[in-house]
Amino acid sequence: MSDTHYSSNILRRPARVPTALPAIRKITYSDLIDALRMGWEDFKAVPTHAIMLALIYPVLGLVLARLVLGYAILPLLFPLAAGFALVGPFAAIGLYELSRRREAGEQPSAVHAMDVLKSPSLGAMLALGGLLMVLFAVWIAAAQAIYILTFGYAPAASMTHFATTVLGTPQGWALILIGCGVGFLFALVALCVSVVSFPMMLDRHASAPEAMLVSLQAVAKNPIPMAMWGVIVAALLIAGSLPFFLGLTIVVPVLGHATWHLYRKVIEPSATPYVSAPQPPKGRRYAADFPVNLFSWLRRDR
């Protein structure tokens, strides 16, 4: 085969047609409140399942509280709590699935939340989730560096001493202002790339770059409402973190469900919505199979 013939075959090869990105709507403050209201309704409909999905948050909070007894990581307690806003969109992917199923008129359960593991876009969600985890790690490192530059390497003597030093000295106020400013930049990046990305990947099986591009466009088209949404999320996460992070068992599920409804308000619906695989009928269960029945996804007849 000649080089000319080979080149002509390359020229005749059809180009890849890019996937059309969805249309983005303009939203208002009332849409944010409505999304929160619907998120609360979803949480009330399946509270046990939502709390179970968020158990990692109070567990992590209790572990952090135990570590703080030594005061070694006390300066990082607030950055760790604030960092939930960076990884929260990824941690809530199971909650998006529950809201999606309720929206479709189904009766969701905890098992349905695990169906995200069967999604064709699981790899894309993991990739973007990994990016948010890296962002979280960089934020913690930056927070630690800001504290060291302000107060040096000496650990806090006690919680009272730490609070007095931070709130009652010029260095402490400098730490607050610089830390909040840097944290705002990290939160802004996370909001821009993920505010609707994970729901879109679940709903439309979009790639991670496509989902992030749409998320950036959504923020650009709705800068003030999205900024207000970021403030609402930050305020609720801080409020949920105060009683040893236990409030996050309610705040995180509500925000996760609300994010799905915010996605629905921002993005025009797809002409070919995602359809869940039909669930097999439940057979009779016997007492002898009691331990196995607790793990129904391991049964061979599924």
**Residues 231-268: tens digit of each pLDDT:** 999 888 888 777 666 777 788 889 999 999 999 999 98
Strand-pairing partners, residue 89, are: none
Q: Which of 226, 243, 231, 76 is nearest to 143 (CA)?
A: 76
Interval 133-156 mean pLDDT: 86
CA gap 198, 179 in Å, rounded: 28
| Banded pLDDT at 291 (limits 50, 70, 90) | very low
**Portion of the chain with pLDDT greater than 90, in percent:** 33
Contact 301, 283 (CB under 8 A): yes
Q: Which of 265, 233, 218, 226 is nearest to 99 (CA)?
A: 265
Contact 169, 163 (CB under 8 A): no
CA gap 267, 215 in Å, rounded: 10
Task: Kindly report the pTM of this predicted structure.
Answer: 0.75
Lowest mean pLDDT among 35-39, 41-45, 236-240, 253-257: 236-240
